[in-house]
Amino acid sequence: MASLLGGAVGPVPALTGGQLIDRLEAANLLGRGGAGFPVGRKWRAVAERGQGRAVVLANGAEGEPLSAKDRTLMAARPHLVIDGAVLAADAVGAPDIIFYVGAAHHAAEAAVRQALGQRSNQLKQRVRVVPAPAGYVTGEESSAVHFINGGDARPTTTPPRPFERGVDGRPTLVQNVETLAMAALIARGDVGKTGLVTVSGSIRNPGVKEIDFESTLGDVATAAGGLARAPQAVLLGGYFGGWAPIDEVWALPIEPQSLRARGLTFACGVVHFLAEDACGVEATARIMAYLASQSARQCGPCVFGLSAIGECLRRLAARSPQVSDLDRLTTWSGQLEGRGACKHPDGAAGLLRSALGVFADDFEAHQQRRCLRRQPARPAMVQPLAAVA
């Protein structure tokens, strides 16, 4: 049986767009770019508005620092991604297809271009490859559309959303490349229950793995060579995701909907293990400094809020906080949602809230200028894996 990263695939069977969308819905395929939106519903929305002049934008910008799965997939299986984009284009009535590939992802871009070179002239005339500028928000769907329309790769005010008015003002399906590849497998009869994860942190063999959605987080660690050090927490879903205590999630299936039911997120498939002796306050401060630096600097709550949160976290991580830094963080973490043109502030606030919960003791200690993880006299403590399994 073929999978995303390996195995021979046969020709794409003849399906009408409607039949394919029915299959995607039966497989309950959710987008793999981060938001997890139901794919069938999205394709229907574009098909209804497209009237034969829609656009498909295959999104391989992959700006998430902890994710490498999209570039890995494009480099390894460009034809599968292209199949998915063509199927999507036929299903939604799109004469034009754009591959939006992170400009730094050279191997991925080269593989996509080479694979396109092997396709029919008819297809070549429908397709362009557009390098996506580096940055966290350049792959956000309205950013991508704005850039392709000649603007800068920053989010625009919505509505209209791209499925209403996108590239050249036409209804545009913006879909992550892994989602498209999975659609191409589902068209061939696959059940669509595997996904790509990028595993990092305290793990022996980090990198991109294809996992069965019934796998537990423990299975994911095993697939990545096993844990390097005993972990205390895991970051699920990347910088827009959230921290979870390791013992609460170790035995959970990684399947997106089961995670969501517990208030966790699979998002783009990032799994980052934080070792027991690492400090969650410091790790969160580093992430937030990055997210603040990646604000598109258009919306006040994001520009000022994220930089203030980043500064607050920097002081706390350095154990030199101002008197009420922790209180301020708590307040701000609840104020950012829905207050940007895009979801950048929402994502950052969600990550911060999860950190304040999971690392509550560490934050309290840092507010008192101490660190629970880095006390010189503290004896080494090794937690047996059995304790968390």
Partner 1 sequence: MAEQLQVDRIRCDGHGLCAELLPEMITLDDWGFPIVRSGAIPARLSEHAQQAVNACPVLALRLARASH
Please say whether the beta carbons of 326 and 210 come within 8 A: no
Task: Take residue 189 and report the two structure tokens written for it.
Answer: 């009869």
Nearer to partner 1, 66 or 144 (CB): 144
Q: Is 125 in the site for partner 1 (CB under 8 A)?
A: no
Q: Is the dihedral of CA 281, 286, 287, 289 positive or negative?
A: positive
Using CB under 8 A, pick the residue from 237, 340, 347, 350 that binds partner 1. Answer: 340
- Give SS3 for 18: helix
- Give SS3 for 55: strand
Q: Using CB under 8 A, which residues numbered 239 to 298 contact partner 1?
A: 298
Q: Is 181 in the site for partner 1 (CB under 8 A)?
A: no
Cα 339 to Cα 98: distance, rounded to the nearest angstrom:
30
Select from 62-70, 124-132, 254-262, 336-344 the region that touches partner 1 (CB under 8 A).
336-344
Nearer to partner 1, 100 or 332 (CB): 332
Nearer to partner 1, 180 or 356 (CB): 356
Strand bridging mode 270-275 / 194-201:
parallel
Using CB under 8 A, pick the residue from 213, 339, 346, 371 that binds partner 1. Answer: 339
Cα 148 to Cα 154: distance, rounded to the nearest angstrom:
11
- Could you give the string, one character per residue 145-164, with x where binding to partner 1 holds by CB under 8 A and - elsewhere? -----------xx-------
- Could you give the string, one character per residue 293-312, with x where binding to partner 1 holds by CB under 8 A and - elsewhere? -----xxxxx-xx--x----
Cα 354 to Cα 288: distance, rounded to the nearest angstrom:
13
Please say whether the beta carbons of 356 and 325 come within 8 A: no
Site size for partner 1 (CB under 8 A): 16
Nearer to partner 1, 177 or 312 (CB): 312
Select from 51-59, 195-203, 235-243, 335-343 the region that touches partner 1 (CB under 8 A).
335-343
Nearest CA-CA partner of 99 in 148, 165, 31, 160: 148
Q: Is 322 in the site for partner 1 (CB under 8 A)?
A: no
Please say whether the beta carbons of 239 and 291 come within 8 A: yes
Using CB under 8 A, pick the residue from 21, 187, 291, 341 that binds partner 1. Answer: 341
Nearer to partner 1, 270 or 306 (CB): 306
Residue located via tokens 């791209």: 162
User: By the criterion CB under 8 A, which residues form the site for partner 1?
Assistant: 156-157, 298-302, 304-305, 308, 332, 335, 338-341
